[in-house]
């Protein structure tokens, strides 16, 4: 039995090594061919980084259509531009973040499950998800945002499970670093705050000692206070003159979508797998999760067999992930509370954002891309079921193979020009 478990773990280590190598090849290949002005507002992101590199200062929020964004990604981009003196170099930032992100997923899973097999399955499920592979060749801050939020969730798991004061302080320090980096990348890091507060609640419930609780409360106030003070320049940033701040603008926006937008399911019977789905909340979300629904990488094809495979696999993998999350609730309640609180808060933010926005790209689930971590944990737990283990592995191998083939940029595609 022990020998069989060791052989299985060795197999998954080798499989993960192969997948990492293939992913590295995919993203370097795509970055070399992909024209940087493409993607989601590529020229706006490039302008921001170039401005900092050339002017040595952060532009005014309303100077260009992306300059309202917090500056961290663009400061990194400016450093890369000054070092390599070519816009093309900006496209290699996200491939690096991709591998840092997968490392964070593995560390989060290993800390949670204390099991290499489950941790590798979570990492594989995350890495094979088409949504995660859309952004690496692009110039955009979305991927750094995903990294920061995922790192903050991992830190919240560390906080919830810390056994000593030293472990708690280290976990809080990691969270502060991730959260401050996150707020200086994109304000959607705020969707991860419920995970942090959930972790604090778990910690406070651990001990009955009033003194220990008071010490922890002081620590929590100190670290959250540091985060809040650090956030003020971003939260209060205004786009010119008397215009409202980022937070004020979101809070005062009226609802612009009716209930039909959130409930319609005709995208399923129409097999509408290829468009942005601006007309359907569920269709747009599903599409962006399972394939490149905005055609930001792949050329538009009226009917594509690879897209159909990726789209269809989602109807099998997603319910299995939900089943795994149910298993996780029974076996790892603390960690489930942390990632579950992020999942709920992110979805509520996403629904609210879609309710107040009329922009067609609002239905991209990639705005809350770290929710892929919740999905990956569910797959890892579902894979502990003996009958599902090899079924899930087969489904993920099919998904990963088709995804790599589908996203492998060809020289004649429109994104190369």
pTM of this prediction exceeds 0.85: yes
HEC sequence for 170-220: HHHHHHHHHHHHHHCCCHHHHHHHHHHHHHHHHHHHHCCCHHHHHHHHHHH
pLDDT, residue 243, reads 59
pLDDT, residue 276, reads 60
CA distance 175 to 181: 10
Helix (H) or strand (E) holding 247: helix 246-251
Number of domains the chain is built from: 1
| Nearest residue to 92 via CA among 49, 37, 137 | 137
Alpha-carbon torsion, ordered 183, 185, 187, 193, to 10 deg: -50
CA 262 to chain centre: 22
User: Across the strands, what pairs with 245?
Assistant: 238
Helix (H) or strand (E) holding 371: helix 371-382
User: Across the strands, what pairs with 238?
Assistant: 245
Tens of each residue's pLDDT in the chain, 417 residues: 555 556 666 777 788 788 888 999 999 999 999 999 888 888 999 999 999 999 999 999 888 888 989 999 999 999 999 999 999 999 999 999 999 999 999 999 999 999 888 999 999 999 999 999 999 999 999 999 999 999 999 999 999 999 989 999 999 999 999 999 999 999 999 999 999 999 999 999 887 777 788 888 999 999 999 999 999 999 887 766 555 655 666 666 777 788 999 999 888 888 887 766 678 899 889 988 998 877 888 887 777 889 999 999 999 999 999 999 999 999 999 999 999 999 999 999 999 999 988 877 788 888 899 999 999 999 999 998 888 888 999 999 999 999 999 999 999 999 998
CA distance 284 to 46: 27
**How many helices (H) does the chain have, and how many strands (E)?**
17, 0
Give the range of the structural domain holding residue 385, as residue numbers without chain letter.
2-416
pLDDT, residue 388, reads 87
| Nearest residue to 223 via CA among 241, 244, 243, 197 | 197
Write the CA distances from 375 to 19, 129, 132, integer angstroms.
19, 10, 12
Instruction: State whether the Cα torsion 399-402-407-408 is positive or negative.
Output: positive
| Residue showing tokens 């110039």 | 139
Instruction: State whether the Cα torsion 51-57-63-68 is positive or negative.
Output: positive
Q: What is the DSSP letter of 255?
A: P
pLDDT, residue 30, reads 96
pLDDT, residue 269, reads 87
pLDDT, residue 20, reads 85
Phi and psi angles of residue 66, each rounded to the nearest 5 degrees, phi first: -110, -5
State both tokens at 228: 């809040």
pLDDT, residue 5, reads 55
């Amino acid at each position: 039995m022990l020998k069989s478990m060791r052989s299985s773990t060795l197999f998954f280590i080798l499989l993960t090594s192969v997948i990492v190598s293939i992913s590295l090849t995919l993203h370097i290949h795509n970055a070399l061919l992909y024209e940087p002005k493409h993607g989601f507002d590529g020229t706006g992101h490039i302008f921001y980084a170039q401005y900092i590199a050339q002017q040595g200062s952060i532009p005014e929020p309303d100077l260009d259509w992306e300059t309202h964004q917090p500056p961290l990604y663009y400061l990194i981009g400016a450093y890369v531009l000054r070092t390599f003196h070519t816009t093309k170099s900006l496209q290699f930032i996200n491939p690096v973040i991709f591998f840092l992100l997968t490392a964070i997923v593995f560390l989060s899973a290993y800390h949670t499950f204390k099991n290499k097999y489950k941790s590798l399955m979570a990492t594989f499920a995350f890495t094979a998800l088409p949504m995660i592979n859309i952004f690496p060749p692009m110039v955009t801050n979305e991927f750094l945002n995903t990294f920061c939020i995922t790192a903050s969730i991992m830190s919240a798991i560390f906080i919830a499970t810390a056994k000593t004061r030293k472990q708690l302080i280290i976990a809080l320090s990691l969270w502060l670093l991730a959260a401050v980096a996150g707020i200086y990348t994109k304000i959607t890091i705020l969707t991860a705050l419920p995970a942090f507060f959930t972790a604090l609640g778990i910690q406070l419930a651990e001990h009955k000692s009033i003194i220990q609780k008071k010490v922890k409360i002081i620590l929590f106030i100190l670290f959250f206070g540091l985060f809040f003070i650090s956030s003020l320049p971003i939260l209060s940033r205004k786009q010119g003159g008397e215009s409202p701040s980022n937070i004020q603008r979101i809070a005062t926006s009226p609802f612009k979508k009716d209930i039909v937008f959130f409930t319609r399911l005709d995208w399923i019977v129409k097999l509408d797998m290829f468009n942005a789905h601006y007309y359907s909340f569920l269709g747009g979300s599903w599409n962006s999760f399972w394939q490149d629904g905005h055609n930001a990488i792949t050329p538009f094809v009226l009917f594509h067999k690879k897209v159909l495979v990726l789209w269809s696999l989602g109807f099998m993998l997603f319910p299995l992930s939900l089943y795994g999350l149910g298993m996780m609730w029974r076996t790892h309640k603390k960690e489930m509370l942390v990632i579950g609180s992020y999942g709920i808060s992110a979805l509520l933010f996403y629904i609210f954002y879609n309710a107040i926005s009329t922009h067609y790209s609002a239905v991209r689930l990639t705005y809350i891309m770290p929710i892929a971590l919740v999905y990956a944990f569910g797959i890892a737990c579902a894979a502990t079921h003996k009958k599902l283990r090899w079924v899930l592995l087969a489904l993920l191998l099919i998904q990963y193979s088709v995804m790599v083939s589908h996203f492998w940029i060809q020289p004649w595609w429109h994104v190369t020009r």
